[in-house]
Structure 1
Amino acid sequence: MRDIKYIVVHATGGSPQTTIKELLLVFKGLGWKNPGYHYVVAADGTITQLLGEEKVSNGVKGYNRMLVNVAYIGGFANGKYVDTRTAAQKASLLKLLGVLRKHYPNAIIQGHRDFSPDLNRNGIIEPNEFIKVCPCFDAKVEYKNV
């Protein structure tokens, strides 16, 4: 069994209309053995498990052995990265994170962007320090009470 230290929230970084099949083709095109996420939430709120939690996904380089990756489909609109979550996605993410929190009560819920380095060493990872903006909102704040 893996020692899960983080539950990481992602945006897929594409259109909210992207299908699971299209997403899996992206991972295959990258040459990845496993998908980038354990769970994906579609715009209608449907949750799809892409990989068993006992397996390592490809969500955050250098950390994958210690986390479960959850993504909502979307995060890109009008030529920029933005929070495109629907009300259904927000509700399903909250539900899914609640279930994962019960399985991993000591895991920290945060966004992919929160793994960026604190370049100025002030204790805060600021937007100008983000390696990625994913999931396009502050997951630490939004899910602090999950």
Structure 2
Amino acid sequence: MNAPPSLYKPTFRTATDLLVVHCSATRPTHDIGVKEITHWHVQRGFDTVGYHYVIRRNGTVETGRPETAVGAHVKGHNSRSIGICVAGGLDAGGKPANTFTAAQFAALGQLLDDLRKLYPDARILGHRDLSPDRNGDGVISPDEFIKACPSFDVAAWLSGRELAG
């Protein structure tokens, strides 16, 4: 039986090397936040929401797990990362697509700026960038992605904006 969120007892991270951007894999008309994702994650057997932050369609940043807690958002990297989920990531037909709003990108940029001040050595990347390098060439290419998440190239987006700090 799953513990209610009020009984959630986090395990705390001892280091933060990664800031990982995710998407909720929902259509543009589906505005969801921490409450809905917590429900989905509890149904999957998690104690609570796996992400530390969720950015709604209107750019509102909601807090999920405590920032100091180990997340449940990317297998093999949770103990050293913070997970940020941006609502959306699918087109109207259910295919992976960059369907995020300008408000979401602005909020994501500000959140990453704030987190980089706290964790200056942490790398920022998308969930898909943590897929295995199946051909061993040192590059995770699109044909190696386990999933499209977050449905945009985080490195390319970052190169188009200057991170503060």
TM-score (norm 2): 0.84
| Corresponding residue number in structure 2 for 1:92 | 107
Which of 113, 129, 134 is the equivalent residue of 2:144?
129
d(CA) in 1 for partners of 2:70, 2:64: 11
Is contact 1:41-1:48 (8 Å) kept?
A: yes
Work out the CA distance in 1 between the residues paired with 2:72 and 2:99: 22
Larger RCO: 1 or 2 (CA < 8 Å, sep 6+): 1
Structure 1 segments unaligned to the other structure (5+ residues): none
Deviation at 1:91, TM superposition (A): 0.4
Do structure 1's residue 34 and structure 2's residue 48 form an aligned pair?
yes
Alignment partner of 1:141: what SS?
helix
Question: 1:81, 1:136 within 8 Å by CA — same for their partners in 2?
Answer: yes
Runs of 4+ off more than 4 Å:
none
The percent of aligned pairs where both chains have the same amino acid is 40
What root-mean-square deviation, in Å, do the aligned CA atoms of Structure 1 and Structure 2 show? 1.3
Q: Distance in 2 between matches of 1:84 and 1:58?
A: 24
Residues of 2 paired with 1:18 and 1:31: CA distance?
23
For residue 23 of structure 1, the aligned residue among 32, 37, 41 is 37
Deviation at 1:140, TM superposition (A): 2.0
| Partner-residue secondary structure (3-state), 2:41 | helix
Distance apart, 1:15 and its partner CA: 2.7
Relative to the length of structure 1, the TM-score reads 0.94
> Unaligned stretches of 5+ in structure 2?
1-12
**Structure number having the greater strand percentage:** 1
Q: Cα distance, 1:2 vs. partner? A: 2.1
**Contact 2:27 2:94 (8 Å CA) reproduced:** no
Aligned ranges 1:112-123 → 2 under 5 Å: 112-123=127-138
Provide the C-alpha distance between the structure 2 equivalents of 1:76 and 1:59, rounded to a whole number of angstroms.
Answer: 18
The structure having more radius of gyration, on CA atoms, is: 2
Distance 1:117 1:51 in 2: 26
Q: CA deviation at 1:24?
A: 1.5
Q: Residues 63-92 of structure 1, C-alpha deviation per residue, up to 9 Å, x if partnerless?
A: 100000001101112121111110000100
Aligned amino acid, residue 7 of structure 1: L
Cα drift, residue 23 of structure 1: 1.7
Asked if structure 2 preserves the Cα contact closer than 8 Å seen for 1:34 and 1:57, the reply is no
Match of 2:80 in 1: 66
Could you list the per-position Cα deviations for residues 13-38 of structure 1 after superposition, in whole angstroms to 9, with x for gaps in the alignment? 11342322222210111110131210
